Amino acid sequence: MRYCQFNPDIVPLSQQTFVELLLNCKDFTKSDRLLGSSKGRGTTWFINTMEELGVNSVLRHYYRGGLFGKLVKDRYFFTTNQNTRAVQEFNLLEQLVQWELPVPRPIACQITRQFFCYQADILLEKIANTQDLSQYLQNNRLTPQQYQKIGGLIRQLHDHQVHHSDLNIHNILLDDQGKFWLIDFDKCKIQPGCRWKQQNLERLHRSFLKEKTRLGILFNEQDWQMLLEGYAK
């Protein structure tokens, strides 16, 4: 049993079948639509859909992590469509777009149900001409004002009570116009309270320090203080 959800602002009725075909394709290696890919738990595909949808796309299949993920790679227990990871990420992104936060627009998602389990895929807008901070900072420094912008962006997220559960420098993009974007909202949610916000910032700080050791990114503690200054404004 299959359930699909579409963003009508991007996917007209005439293109829904086309989008469903994309969601069902598991390997774009030999496709002339392929713009690139990235490896994580699985492969994320960057796809040329400009002619059909007016934007290029990012296709991601949902995979489990950790020890359990080695046993059950990509299946999750099903209760309702609204409780699936793909639909929750899709709906959260729609809300963030309504709040005018810099995140990719969701295009479509798909739930494939088999008995009590499901598999899921999501198609997102590809933000053009970007690098994530782990890439950019290997060869460039950000200015104090740019770090303040990042801090202000995270503050916007927190003011809307959005908990980005994987806030790290790989999930912060910088485009060629100098605008920062946040990506990868799988398992993220709107969460009440404030105690988690400091932990969220500390997670990001650890990410900067980790990649300074691992990749030699151009970052120091003064940069972090500028980010915190932007967050506090």
Assess contact for 53 and 126: CB atoms under 8 A: no
Q: What's the Cα-to-Cα distance from 84 to each of 59, 113, 118, 121, rounded to whole Å?
A: 17, 11, 8, 11
In angstroms, the CA 101 to CA 93 distance is 9
Of 75, 43, 83, 71, residue with least CA distance to 59: 43
Q: Is 49 helix (H, G, I), strand (E, B) or coil?
A: coil
- The radius of gyration of the chain's CA atoms, rounded to the nearest angstrom, is 18
Of 159, 148, 169, 161, residue with least CA distance to 212: 169
Helices (H) and strands (E) in the chain, counts: 8, 12
Max intra-chain CA distance, the chain: 54
Tokens at residue 80, please?
Answer: 């309702």
For residue 166, indicate whether it is catalytic: yes
Q: Which of 32, 132, 159, 166 is catalytic?
A: 166
Q: DSSP secondary-structure letter at 104?
A: P
Positions marked catalytic: 166
